[in-house]
Amino acid sequence: MATVRMSQRLTSEIRNAAKKKFATVHPTIDHIYIDDWFKENIYNKIDKYKDMTNELFGSDVFNYDRMSSLDTVYIYSTYTDEEGDERKVNQQCEFEQGQFEVPYQLANGYSSMSLYLPTENSVVQKIIKTQNHNRAVNRKKDAYLDKIDEALSEFTTLNQALKAWPALKDLVEDEYIQKVHKKVPRAQKQKEQRELIESQEQELNEVLLTANLLEN
């Protein structure tokens, strides 16, 4: 077998592979759908809003002929978490282009709208629940990756690590596995072992030589 050093590059690749595996098992929630809520609570009431403002200010004050196609709504709010700390909600929610058209004045002048909602609003509660879920997943992920790092630090070669932890092969690229299983002549293996020591030999010998001089 060829010796594969547990290099910084290899450990980094293993860590990234572990991160992807973890995300498959414990995914975070990246998109919050509010289409139905927005349609019922905002979009379906826009005509009433237009009628009310025209009645109050006159139809010549606001020009509702110009419309904007929304693709994003920003939800803002605040809440107090379980530890008593105040947290902010700043959530971007996206729509399919052309799904909702609103007056230009309500769309920040472009294709987005900002909504400032109370904590008890159902959308805000949905966002808070999602944020809590994602934070819990990220804490669990960090703990998992710390254990990966701790395990890998026990080995100087991939060969040793695979022997102690066979399932590690699922986190290692095939090129490394193939190299591990590649048959190497004895002379070649001795050369590789020598090269492995050479990278640290000066530092190792420095202490030994100094100690010998002092002892003599």
- Alpha-carbon distance of 91 to 75, in angstroms, equals 5
Q: What percent of the chain has pLDDT over 70?
A: 90
Query: What mean pLDDT comes out for the span 12-29?
Result: 95
Write the pLDDT tens digit of every residue in 156-199: 999 999 999 999 999 999 999 999 888 766 666 667 767 777 76
Mean pLDDT across the chain: 88
Q: What are the DSSP calls for 17-52, one per residue?
A: HHHHHHHHHS--------HHHHHHHTGGGHHHHHHH
Higher confidence at residue 212 or residue 183?
183
- Alpha-carbon distance of 125 to 79, in angstroms, equals 9
Q: What percent of the chain has pLDDT over 90?
A: 59
pLDDT at 211: 67
- Alpha-carbon distance of 183 to 189, in angstroms, equals 9
* Range 46-64 burial, b when 16+ CB lie within 10 A, else e: beeeeeebeeeeeeeebeb
| Listed range (37-46, 143-152, 163-172, 178-187) with the worst mean pLDDT | 178-187
- Alpha-carbon distance of 53 to 61, in angstroms, equals 9
Residue 79 main-chain phi, psi, to 5 deg: -155, 165
- Token pair of 37, please? 């809520």
Nearest of 78, 77, 115 to residue 95 by alpha carbon: 115
Query: What mean pLDDT comes out for the span 17-44?
Result: 94
pLDDT band at residue 215 under the 50/70/90 scheme: confident
Write the pLDDT tens digit of every residue in 91-128: 999 998 788 998 888 888 678 999 999 999 999 999 99
Q: What is the pTM of this model?
A: 0.71
Query: What mean pLDDT comes out for the span 32-57?
Result: 91
Nearest of 117, 68, 70, 69 to residue 91 by alpha carbon: 117
What's the longest Cα–Cα distance across the chain? 104
- Residue 61, pLDDT > 80, answer no
